[in-house]
Structure 1
């Protein structure tokens, strides 16, 4: 069994309303600021839901490319767009729905075959599976 671990870190200071933070993305120098205003409003930057959507779009595109190549019909271009729905309900905020749309330019495949391949790619995509994952929490209190 192969296990690959990838890590990103978020740092937050202050309360929810006035605080802010930075998300460090993996092994890159990418450091993205985020706050309640970037999550709920229109301020430029990012938020956890956009990062989830980005992860799903990228992973699904790779999964679909692999399935199409395995079918002998490699894609010329794949564009995947994910929309994460953050909804406030009686028990607080949740993500009940994620929309995943894909447009692919592929020679030699009809729509029925493409739909089947697209579904197989979705079922095999690790990030698609994440939305069904058992999230294990480890909480550690650090002394000031």
Structure 2
């Protein structure tokens, strides 16, 4: 099993507190985050943004593997993932993850779209999310 990790520190209350998050690789090192970056749209990162980036990356890699298996060449994939956080009971829950992907490659467009649909449900991050995962596909 491959294991990677991230970590976070938090000091203070929910609204007045501040946190910092890091990744094992060091790509993120003590990156600040807080209530204002998560719920008020101020500059900075937040967990949903990071999940979206991870989801887009995971999906794109899974799709590239499927396209390669189908003999699709000269592949280019650009993907974003919008993570929807909504109020649930006394707290919040991630309820949606919407992939938006544009794919180009040499091969049958129907096969490319079929591979995208498989990757949408089959990438490890999609499997991890306890949310409705949807997708818009553009094949160029």
- Which bracket does the TM-score occupy, shorter chain normalised? 0.7 to 0.9
CA contact (8 A) 1:34 1:46 kept: yes
Match of 2:16 among 12, 15, 18: 18
CA contact (8 A) 1:9 1:23 kept: yes
Structure 2 unaligned residues grouped into runs of 5+: 131-140
Q: CA deviation at 1:74?
A: 2.9
Q: Which protein is richer in strand relative to its size?
A: 2
Aligned equivalent of 2:99: 100
Q: TM-score, normalised by structure 2?
A: 0.85
Aligned equivalent of 2:6: 8
Q: Using a 3 Å threshold, how does the CA distance of structure 1 residues 122 and 75 change in structure 2: closer, same or farther?
A: farther
- Between the aligned partners of 2:13 and 2:73, the Cα distance in structure 1 is 49
Q: CA deviation at 1:29?
A: 4.5
Task: Say if 2:82 is the partner of 1:79.
Answer: no
CA contact (8 A) 1:65 1:74 kept: no
Structure showing greater radius of gyration is 1
Q: What is the root-mean-square deviation of aligned Cα atoms in Å?
A: 1.7
Q: Secondary structure at the match of 2:78?
A: strand
Q: TM-score, normalised by structure 1?
A: 0.83
- Between the aligned partners of 2:12 and 2:90, the Cα distance in structure 1 is 24
Aligned length: 130
Superposition map of 1:1-144 within 5 A: 3-31=1-29, 32-110=31-109, 112-132=110-130
Which consecutive aligned stretches of 4+ in structure 1 deviate over 4 angstroms post-superposition? Answer: none
Structure 1 unaligned residues grouped into runs of 5+: 133-144
